[in-house]
Structure 1
């Protein structure tokens, strides 16, 4: 923390020194001589797969339609000023107060806007690279000062709005307006203006086509800022937030499932080196994609049923698939949907995992003294007032081993296990394994037993689920997922290179024991009979309402998460994780690994306990009854022997009697005693 603060202090001092220099008129020494035009010719950038094959080429030409300031409504201008640079008309290119405020906001975790002014952003976008260095920031400030001296505020704002990148290859406010809404900029309302103003901070992440939820959240932030700085009233803000925006979707048909991967890489490239470099810089972009596996993944989509077309002309259900190399974190294949939109469900969709979340419970149990042979009881219980969950087969199975409970995806044993080991430990493990969407504090957190069945506040996304399950395949090592390996400019200079990150997050024994149990899922569990001819493990997941269905499975060499669901949260005709998702997974994994050597999971030296012999309570009751009967028989035999001896003794002591049959009738008590094996005592008086 001290180093970070030291760096920030040094940065501020440098900016202050530079600001003083600007005041003395040295800005022209740093400003480019060709401010009115750029001389470097545009060149397309190329994407390469893991084997060095060219797989995608960007369009070098921009979609840019310049407009004058009189064509840009005031509320459109104000939306950008409110979120990007509220003191635009007060500063002279560098907003020292804004920079200090941004620094404080960043340190406190409540950042609203960056420290760069609109003028500085124009300087950076028009004349500089996106490299993150103090030198570049100093140059940016000098150029900003020169721009302020040469142009009016309205001219600078006009250049900025015509220069800025809005994603999808669209540069400038007019081009963006036509692309997203199908209308000219002068016809934009407040809601639409705020939506566009939300985009430049991260053109793909806040793209309403790719991430509508985050786009809406930031749009409302822009509107709140407009109220804060007096540009609109609270009533206007409320009306703008309530507007249901109609987007222009005529150009959105992709029909290419791999475009989701390219869009994800494009966003990462823009974050690292800027949009201009991507679309005009002639970059060579090296990725982790395996083209053969990607083709196989696209072919596996044939298992996806077509139920209906929704109001956005998207066929439902949709799907996502992510395949990751467990040993490196490399993303080998990705499908983010059917290809009829731009929303990447593999990385951006946060969905309920159902029982696919259970392995996090069991691996935590393995860390805390349990084994696959540990026994737990499956019977009805009310875990909290009104919550009496059931198993999917609506049956109770009595005492079962943890292996049986996991492979058959029993709910009650899983909840009891979570209660035993502690919810906090399970959440901590899931987060260490790469799940970033869990809510571990607040009134609506995941710190409850429903979490053990996949009932989460937000949910999970397929990329993180694939990476998390990879931890089982590597015996506890988490490798952060990587899709972009390297960016090289046209001169051969490496602008960016990925730094693999891996660390142990689960002890090897616990990870291996969990894997060993998950192998049974594909043998005799919920995925029984769907093995792929080599050691493999996995888990099904289905939500109660059949809105989400999952299968996440892995071998030592490849981990793949498959999600199928309805974008509009409608039930999917009783679709389970063991049906369509498992079929897609099986098809993909079988073919993707067909040429790969067969490998086994590595046992770190842990003994696999045999399944316990479990006698259910009803069986024990029968055994107890049988034991009672046996004991009674033994007692009866003993009493009969005693009776014989007593009878013999009586006969020896009694006087001689006639051997003729007695005409005296035996009493009922005598007959009963004989039958019951009790001694027969004569009712005749005995002699002394």
Structure 2
């Protein structure tokens, strides 16, 4: 009895002394304790995510991978696993577990590991406010900080912080990110075995993770499962099933829904410019771009298909390398005594050491027959390339020459060749890494929203974005802007211009300047509209002279081009200006929207990690009908968006209020309409009723079977650059193709007899080289858009004229057509029966005389 009293008394004294010691310690270090009030409003360091307009993830940027979750979003079985493993009495203690603390102290005194003393609350204190240094002072700070946390937050709030903050290896923080990194799953889709693996990671995420140390992860998983069983969280059958399950983890990247790296990088750079790298990478911004995934995918396919088509019609440049030297008359398989058979190791190593891009895969030729080859790909996949997918591969000699078409597979490939192949129709086609570059960009002419960007064949081959960074000569893509200036200075679509050679002595260079049509054909006197449709070079020069350089350059610059980038000489009429595809498509948008200059923009809105909108785009709108709105009036974007609903079917919208902004009008609606009519003629215009017949340079776009489109080809001197820019009422796109090496031109090809009639041959230029990508893109982009003719503005009249003279006529046969005029500029004279003298004897007031 005495001894029990003595023990009790001693315990009370020790407890008092211990409490007094804690109080003294607290008083000594309380000023050094962190304020835990910030835990009420934690700003998670989460990566920036870039999305398409319809909510598909394009990419994410930031070192820390975190997917913040509310406690009710986390499966109970994962919570149970954490509690059983880390702190089974979490909901019973006050931040410090006396039983756990006593066990840890006893373990220190006896030299036995009795487990750690840290509770979940103490770990939250350490992870948010303290370091991991092993000192008694740091431990005391941890204990006192835990007391403060428990007094401020509920148990559920503390547990939620822990589950989102804890480091779990491979740059994953929190269990939401860990589920994605290790299993590519949402936390609610994890199995019990996978939950147990993740619950075991907090102890040592670097040495117990299932990727680098699957053996230790397996042991740790067993411990977690045993504790869950002992705590009654799982049954014995569940325990046995999970314990026997294999370790299935592997490292997964971010689950990308839309692979659009050029878009991602553009948005990435804009975010850094707005917020700085540190904030952009850690604040958890969700960046919604203006790009619909369907249009972006269509653009990427169009560009890559067109690059492959161009590259392959110019010939095969050869294999990547050969694993076996060529032996004259060698057999085509391993039966030859002169050839050492390839081993699986050789094949797999050869494939692994070659970079792949886009649709290109690497393969090794393992058998060559007369009309096919057998190949081995990654993971020992064996396939056959049929003759129709080899027959294109005649030798590349140079950009202008190709060798003879091959007659059998042995002329192309040999045993042991390492080659590129592309996947087509569930089969494979011999391919190669293209030399040529290309780009395509599309915007909405109504507000400048970017709808698609493809900056090259592959971002992983070259991060140079040719849409925004490549200044290339635009060739005949400049002509619509020049013709627009001509319409503003007295000409009409029916005015006559002399399509005849120009020979002019240039005293400054001591040479004769002879601009030529392409092809070098001249038709004498032609109407302005037909000259633009046929892209007559000498007519463009005559128009430039008629309007005058001091009038032409400011007019062209009003379409958004820098005057400093427009050459101050007549070469400008032939497209010597160097512009980016984004600048070109912005200029063409002015014609599509009726005369307004819109500014291209990529980011529609930015949300913070809580889903609050912190930025909403407020583009200027090309909209005549919006003139009744004042500049200070606030409206929703949806009500201002002139783009039809059928273009917004899959887009995410917002009711965010923004001030109305009207785009600047830079040309009249009448001027824009007349140029659009001429560019529609470039596609649909033709006349075979007389010899020689003619059709517009963009006639290949007729395959779209749309009358509500307009466009213009463009080819520079020596065909170093080829362009096609075109539009419908609500979508504009520009396609460019050329070599990054400015010394190379696009060259020419001869027909390959192996490929039949449906092939492109001859000299490369805008219609052959760039327009196919535009057509392919627009085929998808216009698929669900009803035909919408360009609206005829006020003060435009349609009058029947004579084709040859542009004068009025009463005839209704093939010699006449209807033409549009701005009211007051229409012809007043009727064509006479004998017009031969009228054409070449104009009065001095006629602009035609000056042009001649």
Q: TM-score, normalised by structure 1?
A: 0.53
Aligned: 1:432 with 2:558? yes
- Which residue in the other structure is 1:596 paired with? 785
Q: Post-superposition shift, 1:58?
A: 2.4
Question: C-alpha displacement at 1:323, in angstroms?
Answer: 0.7
For residue 476 of structure 2, give the secondary structure of its aligned residue in structure 1: helix
> How big is the shift at 1:471?
0.6
Residue 548 of structure 2 is aligned to residue 422 of structure 1: yes
* 1:178-327 equivalence runs, <5 A: 258-301=260-303, 302-304=305-307, 305-306=310-311, 315-327=434-446
3-state secondary structure, aligned to 2:540:
helix
Q: Distance in 2 between matches of 1:612 and 1:406?
A: 18
Question: CA 1:468 to 1:405, structure 2 compared with 1: closer, same or farther past 3 Å?
Answer: same
Instruction: Say yes or no: does 1:504 pair with 2:693.
Output: no
The answer as to whether partners of 2:58 and 2:260 remain within 8 angstroms in 1 is no
Aligned to 1:144: none
Distance 1:260 1:516 in 2: 34
Structure with the largest fraction of helix: 1
Q: Mark the CA change 1:603 to 1:392 in structure 2 (over 3 Å): closer, same or farther.
A: same
List alignment gaps of at least 5 residues for structure 1. 1-31, 63-168, 170-253, 626-688
Q: CA deviation at 1:275?
A: 1.1
Q: Residues 549-598 of structure 1, C-alpha deviation per residue, up to 9 Å, x if partnerless?
A: 00000000110000001000211123110012111111110111101121
Per-residue CA deviations over 1:361-399 (Å, capped at 9, x if unaligned) read: 111111122111000111122345121211112222110
Task: Determine if contact 1:285/1:487 at 8 Å carries over to the other structure.
Answer: yes
Quote the Cα distance in structure 2 between the aligned partners of 1:51 and 1:474: 24
Q: Is the 8 A contact 1:42 1:60 kept in 2?
A: no
User: Which residue number corresponds to residue 533 of structure 1?
Assistant: 705
> Aligned-pair distance for 1:61?
3.6
Question: 2:482 matched to 1:361?
Answer: yes
Contact 1:530–1:586 (Cα < 8 Å) also in 2? yes
- Does the 8 Å contact 1:401/1:612 carry over to 2? no
Q: Do residues 557 (structure 1) and 730 (structure 2) align?
A: yes
Counterpart pick for 2:721 among 548, 556, 570:
548
Name the structure 1 match of 2:101. none
- Matched length: 388
- Shift of residue 492, structure 1, vs aligned partner: 4.4
Q: Indicate which of 678, 692, 696 corresponds to 1:517.
A: 678
Shift of residue 609 of structure 1?
4.7
Distance 1:488 1:464, change over 3 A: same
Cα deviation digits, residues 105-157 of structure 1 (max 9, x gap): xxxxxxxxxxxxxxxxxxxxxxxxxxxxxxxxxxxxxxxxxxxxxxxxxxxxx
Query: Is the Cα contact below 8 Å between 2:593 and 2:730 reproduced in 1?
Result: no
After superposition, the Cα gap between the structure-2 partners of 1:497 and 1:448, relative to the gap in structure 1 and judged at 3 Å, is: same
**Cα distance between partner residues in 2 of 1:426 and 1:612:** 29
Structure 1 position 462, deviation (Å):
0.6
| Distance (whole Å) between structure 2 residues aligned to residue 476 and residue 331 of structure 1 | 19
- C-alpha spacing 1:376/1:57, structure 2 compared with 1 (3 Å): same
Cα pair distance change 1:55/1:257, threshold 3 Å = closer
Greater strand share, 1 or 2? 2
Distance 1:309 1:550 in 2: 25
**Length-normalised TM-score, structure 2:** 0.43
Alignment partners' CA distance in 1, 2:736 and 2:588:
14
Distance 2:505 2:770 in 1: 32
CA contact (8 A) 1:513 1:608 kept: no
Could you tell me how far 1:297 is from its partner in structure 2?
A: 1.0
The answer on whether the counterparts of 1:401 and 1:611 sit within 8 Å (CA) in structure 2 is no
Cα shift readout 1:413-449 (whole Å, capped 9, x = no counterpart): 111111111223322222221223x426xxxx61211
Q: Does the CA-based 8 Å contact 1:272-1:496 persist in structure 2?
A: no
After superposition, what is the alpha-carbon deviation per residue over 1:601-650, rounded to whole angstroms, capped at 9, x for unaligned? 0110312454544279xxx9x9989xxxxxxxxxxxxxxxxxxxxxxxxx
Unmatched runs of 5 consecutive residues or more in structure 2: 1-33, 37-41, 66-170, 172-255, 321-354, 356-432, 507-511, 621-662, 685-694, 748-762, 807-831, 838-852
Q: Distance in 2 between matches of 1:424 and 1:272?
A: 39
Change (3 A) 1:384 1:480: farther
